[in-house]
Structure 1
Amino acid sequence: MSMDLKIFNRDKVIMSNYSSEQLRNMVREDRVHRNMYIDPEVFEIEKEKIFKKVWLYVGHESLISNPGDYYCTTLVGQPVVLSRNVDNSVHVIFNRCGHRGAKVLNRKRGNAKLFSCMYHGWGFKPDGQLAGVPMRVDFPEKALQEPQSGMVSLPRVESYRGFVFASFNKDVEPLADYLGEARRGIDELVDRSPVGKIEFAAGCHRYHFKGNWKLQLENQADMYHPAACHASTVGPDGRQFRRRAGKEGGDAAFFTPDGEAVVAQTGVRGFLKGHSSEASLFDKEQSGGVWDDYRTLMVDAYGEERTKDILKNRRHSMTLFPSVDILIAQTSVRVIRAVAVDHTEIEVWPVRLTGAPDVISTDLVKYLNITHSAASFIQSDDLEAFERCQEGLKTEGAEWFLVAKGMGHEIDEGKGVLFGPRSSEVGQRAQHYAWRDLMGA
């Protein structure tokens, strides 16, 4: 039975024919309904019940290293600014003038003592406070003192090891609680710097695909697809092309000499709150060339045993639901932005390991160009798959699709972490269950 569902926020009311129960029932234990991917009405509800309720990744603090620095992006389709104030505090504010609502900053990045609106000249401090109004005496002073006359801050902003997150929900749980055990993905990336610091210093790849945002998110917990989808990237020896620094350990084993897809033996983990991770594709430790110089710096900083642990091939990536993927294997960060039900924007940022040899970072950009750019050997395969899924899900051949690989064979590792061997779909199920809990609330 259909019921109207009202979703309220400060700006609008969305009327829906879906009840909370109907939304929740789109996710079963072993399958999900195709409307999650193709129905614009479901996407509008996702914006209110998921993206405006949880923590969303905004950017990295290295993008705003100096007072007055700003970085412009969007959250749930709304323009926002990540900025650093004169007191060195970090802020996330709506990119909107408190006077007539004009977008204030139009460049992607920059530095300014005041953020000036081009329409009527109102000026704002980097923390969003109103700083100047031409012909101020003609306005009621009481109105100018109201917070909404400035560039309003998002309700919640927190940072973890330089990664800045924000939420539209003032009552959202603390970021550390939301990340839980999945925070280890950030730790494993940042700890690879000899000084425990990373930088976004080489720009990013930015591209779009005609598909639902969840297709990219699920792909980051899918070790079943590489053997088929990325087979063209594998040489006669059964190993993929070299994609990491070092004379050894830079290529991954996909097939044994007799054709067995060893890559599909890789495990996956599902975490609480919809986070997931993939075990590493690489079967050898990196060594040789500049990597040995880098490792020496790491040993000097952390000692031999700690360095072994940091550089271990532990996981390929850690995906933090619903907006960012820590690509540990490629020393980079992938951002997922849902634009429409069938339109997603992706950014891939190479990461500089502060204190490591410069060639490590320059090589990383080269490798990322051939793995995760829009025209790369790997990402282009995935984008083709996403768009084919989006087209196929429009058909009426079946209402549900299966997400059951490895079901019943998960290993409980404690603290809400489930490990699934043999390319289990446990990580995708964790995402779907989080979607169900949020949408069905």
Structure 2
Amino acid sequence: MDLKIFNRDKVIMSNYSSEQLRNMVREDRVHRNMYIDPEVFEIEKEKIFKKVWLYVGHESLISNPGDYYCTTLVGQPVVLSRNVDNSVHVIFNRCGHRGAKVLNRKRGNAKLFSCMYHGWGFKPDGQLAGVPMRVDFPEKALQEPQSGMVSLPRVESYRGFVFASFNKDVEPLADYLGEARRGIDELVDRSPVGKIEFAAGCHRYHFKGNWKLQLENQADMYHPAACHASTVGPDGRQFRRRAGKEGGDAAFFTPDGEAVVAQTGVRGFLKGHSSEASLFDKEQSGGVWDDYRTLMVDAYGEERTKDILKNRRHSMTLFPSVDILIAQTSVRVIRAVAVDHTEIEVWPVRLTGAPDVISTDLVKYLNITHSAASFIQSDDLEAFERCQEGLKTEGAEWFLVAKGMGHEIDEGKGVLFGPRSSEVGQRAQHYAWRDLMGA
């Protein structure tokens, strides 16, 4: 028997060579098979999702010892947990005895994680804690790490955001995030105590399309004027809902009729990360915002508060699994289920120490913008599914991502800024895809 199939580094049998995969991404366009070929998706799971850092969850979901949060990574059930010593772990949701899934609730708290099949118990860090009729087993076998709930090879956290990797040789998380970590900083720093919480559940929904369609959309300032016309147009109402004395109509169009959103910039980062510039350049004022700002000044001082509250970007997308929605004070998680099936979660964020009404208003706002039946996200989902259907046609093998090419501004440290809704962010994603798939 060929035992190579049991290795952690899976042997990939494919009709595609590394060179063919790499050649699916050109400088200004990409091949449609990246989105529609199930074989390409299977290779992505091994060469992308199991090689880089994947977002798991936020530490506030497991604030107490014994807390756990269950999710999936690359289709495999895993558990984010907090041990009795307050250490944070990501472990496979699998009994070390006969392989049963141990935890079946989404979230909870338990001193021991107990398998319902034969009663084996595990500590929150995954170590084997108890075995019924233990004397009947070879003690040496029970002492092996595989007899517990095995930890993922690498786990690291940045300001409460927990990432894990199947790759024991993956670079440090700080190096992988690079300058893109600023997106997390900009969100967390908006708390007067430098801390955020996931305290209001999430919107969870699916669409019939490839995961990259959602990822690319987060680097796309070109689409809102058309895709979201019913909201941002003259008869739309969504972005009139702004807090403070300067609330009212948000100017989405210039006097000559060009969409303001199309004039904002996009940034491409190393490793496939990207960000969109902010739609709004004014700091809010009036009402509860003034109370909030006072708390910020007390905590950080006037100059630092001004810097924190600058609307630098709409969002920061961290390739390939999470988007920090700074404008919406929330986090979007992207999970690839199949080549044409993607799960999305949108988590509202509570700014710890800020007035409660800010958080409750945010939940109302996300109900309008990012629920499954919202004004905004529903437009995007319709576009994604139409793309998936359209890419099946044989009209053309390639599609274009050339907007703004040649006009990028090098800001240093691997960051390229593209003005006027450039597709530089999408190109950064595709180049990262190319490098990983062609390795």
TM-score, length-normalised on structure 1? 0.97
Query: Would you say the 8 A contact 1:57–1:164 is kept in 2?
Result: yes
Query: Would you say the 8 A contact 2:225–2:233 is kept in 1?
Result: no
Please state how far the C-alpha of 1:284 moved relative to its aligned partner: 2.5
Query: Would you say the 8 A contact 1:271–1:430 is kept in 2?
Result: yes
Please state how far the C-alpha of 1:235 moved relative to its aligned partner: 5.1
Residues 232-271 of structure 1, C-alpha deviation per residue, up to 9 Å, x if partnerless? 1025388852355434367642112432212100100000
Cα distance change on mapping 1:214 and 1:250 into 2, 3 Å: farther
Query: Would you say the 8 A contact 2:10–2:46 is kept in 1?
Result: no
Query: Would you say the 8 A contact 1:209–1:344 is kept in 2?
Result: yes
Distance across 1 between alignment mates of 2:230 and 2:3: 47
Residues 90-142 of structure 1, C-alpha deviation per residue, up to 9 Å, x if partnerless? 00000000000000000000000000000000000000000000000000000
Distance across 1 between alignment mates of 2:236 and 2:102: 53
Distance across 2 between alignment mates of 1:4 and 1:431: 37
Secondary structure of residue in 1 paired with 2:180: helix
Secondary structure of residue in 2 paired with 1:349: strand
Please state how far the C-alpha of 1:10 moved relative to its aligned partner: 2.2
Distance across 2 between alignment mates of 1:268 and 1:92: 33
Query: Would you say the 8 A contact 1:253–1:283 is kept in 2?
Result: no
Cα distance change on mapping 1:305 and 1:11 into 2, 3 Å: closer
Cα distance change on mapping 1:31 and 1:227 into 2, 3 Å: same
Distance across 2 between alignment mates of 1:244 and 1:303: 26
Secondary structure of residue in 1 paired with 2:199: coil
Distance across 1 between alignment mates of 2:388 and 2:2: 27
Please state how far the C-alpha of 1:13 moved relative to its aligned partner: 3.5
Query: Would you say the 8 A contact 2:48–2:433 is kept in 1?
Result: yes
Cα distance change on mapping 1:105 and 1:251 into 2, 3 Å: farther
Distance across 2 between alignment mates of 1:381 and 1:98: 44
Secondary structure of residue in 1 paired with 2:430: helix
Secondary structure of residue in 1 paired with 2:240: coil
Gaps of at least 5 residues in structure 1 are none
Cα distance change on mapping 1:373 and 1:176 into 2, 3 Å: same
Range 181-190 or range 253-262, more displaced: 253-262
Residues 386-437 of structure 1, C-alpha deviation per residue, up to 9 Å, x if partnerless? 0000000000000000000000000000000000000000000000000000
Secondary structure of residue in 1 paired with 2:327: helix
Please state how far the C-alpha of 1:289 moved relative to its aligned partner: 1.2
Please state how far the C-alpha of 1:14 moved relative to its aligned partner: 3.1
Residues 356-385 of structure 1, C-alpha deviation per residue, up to 9 Å, x if partnerless? 000000000000111111111000000000
Secondary structure of residue in 2 paired with 1:208: strand
Aligned partner of 1:313 in structure 2 is 311
Distance across 2 between alignment mates of 1:8 and 1:251: 60
Please state how far the C-alpha of 1:318 moved relative to its aligned partner: 0.1
Cα distance change on mapping 1:155 and 1:49 into 2, 3 Å: same
Residues 258-290 of structure 1, C-alpha deviation per residue, up to 9 Å, x if partnerless? 322121001000000000000001133211111
Cα distance change on mapping 1:247 and 1:235 into 2, 3 Å: farther
Range 289-298 or range 400-409, more displaced: 289-298
RMSD: 2.2
Cα distance change on mapping 1:414 and 1:69 into 2, 3 Å: same
Cα distance change on mapping 1:251 and 1:218 into 2, 3 Å: farther
Cα distance change on mapping 1:8 and 1:440 into 2, 3 Å: farther
Please state how far the C-alpha of 1:8 moved relative to its aligned partner: 8.6
Range 291-300 or range 77-86, more displaced: 291-300
Query: Would you say the 8 A contact 1:253–1:281 is kept in 2?
Result: no
Distance across 2 between alignment mates of 1:242 and 1:80: 41
Distance across 1 between alignment mates of 2:56 and 2:136: 37
Give aligned pairs, total.
439
TM-score, length-normalised on structure 2? 0.97
Please state how far the C-alpha of 1:222 moved relative to its aligned partner: 0.2
Query: Would you say the 8 A contact 1:6–1:16 is kept in 2?
Result: no
Cα distance change on mapping 1:6 and 1:123 into 2, 3 Å: closer
1:357 counterpart (355, 364, 389): 355
Query: Would you say the 8 A contact 1:92–1:166 is kept in 2?
Result: yes
Cα distance change on mapping 1:141 and 1:320 into 2, 3 Å: same
Please state how far the C-alpha of 1:36 moved relative to its aligned partner: 0.2
Distance across 2 between alignment mates of 1:247 and 1:97: 57
Query: Would you say the 8 A contact 1:252–1:281 is kept in 2?
Result: no
Secondary structure of residue in 2 paired with 1:211: coil
Distance across 2 between alignment mates of 1:248 and 1:267: 24
Cα distance change on mapping 1:252 and 1:176 into 2, 3 Å: farther
Query: Would you say the 8 A contact 2:328–2:362 is kept in 1?
Result: yes
Range 300-309 or range 409-418, more displaced: 300-309
Query: Would you say the 8 A contact 1:54–1:169 is kept in 2?
Result: yes
Query: Would you say the 8 A contact 2:95–2:149 is kept in 1?
Result: yes
Cα distance change on mapping 1:5 and 1:311 into 2, 3 Å: farther
Please state how far the C-alpha of 1:18 moved relative to its aligned partner: 0.1
Please state how far the C-alpha of 1:73 moved relative to its aligned partner: 0.1
Query: Would you say the 8 A contact 1:157–1:164 is kept in 2?
Result: yes
Distance across 2 between alignment mates of 1:227 and 1:9: 49
Distance across 1 between alignment mates of 2:3 and 2:332: 34
Residues 76-97 of structure 1, C-alpha deviation per residue, up to 9 Å, x if partnerless? 0000000000000000000000
2:68 counterpart (70, 74, 79): 70
Query: Would you say the 8 A contact 2:230–2:236 is kept in 1?
Result: no
Please state how far the C-alpha of 1:295 moved relative to its aligned partner: 0.7
Cα distance change on mapping 1:302 and 1:214 into 2, 3 Å: same
Query: Would you say the 8 A contact 1:156–1:168 is kept in 2?
Result: yes
Please state how far the C-alpha of 1:6 moved relative to its aligned partner: 11
Distance across 2 between alignment mates of 1:77 and 1:9: 18
Distance across 1 between alignment mates of 2:310 and 2:326: 11
- Identity of aligned pairs, percent? 100
Aligned partner of 1:330 in structure 2 is 328
Residues 146-193 of structure 1, C-alpha deviation per residue, up to 9 Å, x if partnerless? 000000000000000000000000000000000000000000000000
Query: Would you say the 8 A contact 2:266–2:424 is kept in 1?
Result: yes
Cα distance change on mapping 1:7 and 1:28 into 2, 3 Å: farther
Aligned partner of 2:243 in structure 1 is 245
Range 303-312 or range 173-182, more displaced: 303-312
Residues 12-34 of structure 1, C-alpha deviation per residue, up to 9 Å, x if partnerless? 53310000000000000000000
Query: Would you say the 8 A contact 2:211–2:334 is kept in 1?
Result: yes
1:208 counterpart (200, 206, 209): 206
Query: Would you say the 8 A contact 1:266–1:422 is kept in 2?
Result: yes
Cα distance change on mapping 1:244 and 1:343 into 2, 3 Å: farther
